[in-house]
Every structure is written in structure tokens, then in C-alpha cells.
């Protein structure tokens, strides 16, 4: 089979965007495909069981640290906490994992400690030093409020669930980081 190249002949830059999730990851490369391929059976062992693993189990598995060549790395190269959360969300949307409760997803938001948690702080739902329990409770309260306020048609149109809510909170954080004032964001929502 011939090697596939992009239109301009630069395979690596065509297939790999090193900064797709923020900071540039110099290890992100098509050279890792063989390592990913070698790990493919780990996925079968994790998911081909009579009962589905929990979202927390999968998140911890994806972010697991292992010893390698005298150092430490994640079990799956270049899958950090943000990528793990996004993969979990995709597995939920694909019905491979069960939809978590808002409290469970809120706990992962706390563990990640990034965009959704920051947006909840900016909205005054939690404080900077809120505990995991407080973040989970606030996220669940926001989810409940939206489920009550949105019409069934609105929820269906946006495929509303806790995964979508977490993504929306992240977007709020990104918009404010780009200089858009919270008042304007909230008016547009």
C-alpha cells in the first residue's frame, strides 16, 4: 500500500495538529501510530465484558500513569485529562458507556479543573476553592435548572445532556478569554 500524503505532500502536518487541545504537544506524531496499534487490544479487554465500566473507571484508565524507560508517562500517549474527558464523552454519545449522572460528570469536571469549572466560577456558581462535592452539586443544580427551563423542543434541538452542558461551559470560558464580556455571552445564550 502506498503511503498517503496530503495535497501538499506534508503528511505529518496534514494528519497531526499538535495544538488541537491547547498547548503544543511535541510528542503528537504519526510515528506513535504503531504504539497506539499495539495497545488496541487493551480496549477490547476494557469494554468486552458483560457489564459496562463506569465513566470514572474509564477516565482513570485513560489517564493512568505507567513507568517507561526510567520515567513516567500516561498509559496512552498524548491522552491527558482533557483528551480523556472528551473521549469519555464520545464513548457516552456512541452509547458504549452509560450516560453519567450530573453529579458524576461534575466530579470529572472538578478533577479536570479547566474550562467548565472556570466558567462555573465566573458565573458565580462555585468559588475558587470549591470541593469536588460542591462542584458536583453546583453542576447538577445547573443541569436541573436547564432541564426545567428548556422546552422539550429546545432540548431535542441541541441534544441536551450533561456532556453538552460541560462543552457549553467550556465555550463560555473560551469566549471570555477572547475578550467577550460575560453580559454579551449571556444575552446571546
Residue 184 phi, psi dihedral angles, 5° rounding: -65, -45
Statement: residue 128 has pLDDT above 60: yes
Beta strand pairing call for 71-74 and 65-68: antiparallel
DSSP 176-189: HHTT--HHHHHHH-
Per-residue pLDDT of 86-103, as tens digits, reads 999 999 999 999 999 999
d(CA 162, CA 143): 7
d(CA 132, CA 113): 10
Model's pTM, two decimal places? 0.78
CA-CA-CA-CA torsion sign (77, 94, 162, 136): negative
Residue 53 is predicted with a pLDDT of 92
Contacts of 119 (CB under 8 A, 6+ apart): 169, 170, 172, 173, 176
Cα 53-169-109 angle, rounded to 5 deg:
35
Q: Hunting for cell 473560551 — which residue is that?
A: 174
Name the residue ranges covered by the structural domains of the chain: 33-98, 113-189
Statement: residue 183 has pLDDT above 60: yes
Confidence bin at 13 (pLDDT 50/70/90) = low
Residue 102 is predicted with a pLDDT of 97
Coil, strand or helix at 67: strand
Amino acid at each position: 500500500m502506498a503511503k498517503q500524503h496530503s495535497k501538499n505532500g506534508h503528511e505529518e502536518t496534514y494528519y497531526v495538529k499538535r495544538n488541537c487541545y491547547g498547548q503544543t504537544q511535541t510528542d503528537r506524531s504519526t510515528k506513535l501510530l504503531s504504539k497506539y496499534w499495539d495497545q488496541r487490544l487493551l480496549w477490547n479487554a476494557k469494554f468486552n465484558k458483560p457489564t459496562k465500566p463506569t465513566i470514572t473507571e474509564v477516565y482513570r484508565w485513560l489517564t493512568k500513569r505507567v513507568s517507561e524507560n526510567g520515567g513516567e508517562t500516561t498509559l496512552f500517549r498524548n491522552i491527558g485529562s482533557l483528551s480523556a474527558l472528551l473521549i469519555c464523552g464520545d464513548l457516552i454519545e456512541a452509547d458504549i458507556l452509560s450516560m453519567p449522572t450530573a453529579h458524576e460528570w461534575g466530579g470529572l469536571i472538578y478533577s479536570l479543573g479547566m474550562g467548565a469549572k472556570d466558567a462555573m466560577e465566573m458565573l458565580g456558581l462555585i468559588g475558587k476553592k470549591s470541593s469536588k462535592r460542591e462542584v458536583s452539586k453546583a453542576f447538577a443544580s445547573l443541569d436541573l435548572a436547564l432541564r426545567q427551563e428548556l422546552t422539550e423542543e429546545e432540548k431535542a434541538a441541541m441534544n441536551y445532556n450533561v456532556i453538552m452542558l460541560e462543552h457549553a461551559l467550556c465555550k463560555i470560558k473560551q469566549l471570555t478569554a477572547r475578550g467577550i464580556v460575560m453580559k454579551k455571552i449571556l444575552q446571546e445564550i
